[in-house]
Each structure stands twice: as C-alpha cells, then as structure tokens.
Amino acid sequence: MEFCPKCGTVMFPKDNCFKCKCGYEREITKEQKNEYEVSEKVSSKENIIVKGDDVKTLPTTRAICPKCGNKEAYWWLQQTRRADESETRFLRCTKCGQTWREYD
C-alpha cells in the first residue's frame, strides 16, 4: 500500500503512476509494477452489485426466534444509545427473517 507524502492518504495505481486525491502523483517503479499488475480486466457489464438484506454474510448464533421457533439467527451490534452505554445486539432469524433486539 502506498501513502501520499503530502496528505497521508492511501494512493491507488492508475495508468503508470500512483495518484492521490490531493493531486500528488508518483511514477510506479519497475519493481512496483509487478506488485500492482492487474491480471484480468473485467468490463463494467460483468460487475455484479448485490443489494438488499438477502446477503448471508453476518455471523450466526444459537437463538430461538420468537416468531417461528427456529434455533439459529444472524447477529450484529449497533450503537443505538449514548456512547457510554453498551451496544444493542440485533438478531435476525435464518429461516423466516424476523428481526429482534437484545440489550445487555
């Protein structure tokens, strides 16, 4: 990863140089070209954008769904109150999609 010496932001390779959003540019050296070489070009028509809540990437835990009685749920933490209070744990049933919350 390359960082801009002017502003400290991460710079990304574009064409033959690293470019920063502040305008700073630095040419990519021969050694760096091999490190940042793109092995396969993908057209924008082939890109897949996943939207919605049907993405199954959340961790799961054992919890009984109050709606259908299923014993597994996805979970995540979210700060819903003041910063000095604990987070709220949200659970979503893996079977019916019912969402509920638990407080510590």
- Which pTM value belongs to this model? 0.48
84 is catalytic: yes
Minimal CA–CA distance to 22: which of 12, 35, 36, 30? 12
Give the integer Cα–Cα distance in Å for 76 and 59. 8
Q: Catalytic residue at 35?
A: no
Other CB atoms closer than 10 Å to residue 95's CB: what's the count?
13
The torsion angles phi and psi of 87, rounded to 5 degrees, stand at -70, 165
Q: Is 65 annotated as a binding residue?
A: yes
Local structure of residue 44 (DSSP, 8 states): G
The rounded distance, in Å, linking the Cα atoms of 3 and 26 is 11
Structure tokens belonging to residue 8: 């400290």
Q: Kindly state the average pLDDT of the residues 24-47.
A: 67
Q: What is the pLDDT of residue 93?
A: 93
What single letter denotes the amino acid at residue 37?
A: E
Distance (Å, rounded) from C-alpha 5 to C-alpha 27?
14
Residue 17 labelled as part of a binding site: no
pLDDT digits (tens, 9 = 90+) for 85-97: 888 899 999 999 8
Token pair 């064409």 in the structure block, residue? 15
Domains of the chain: 2-40 (no CATH), 60-102 (2.20.25.10)
Q: What was the pLDDT predicted at 71?
A: 96
Was 20 annotated as part of a binding site?
yes
Tell me the per-residue pLDDT of 43-56, one tens digit each, with 9 for 90 and over.
Answer: 666 666 555 666 57
Tell me which of 46, 85, 87, 102 is the catalytic residue: 85
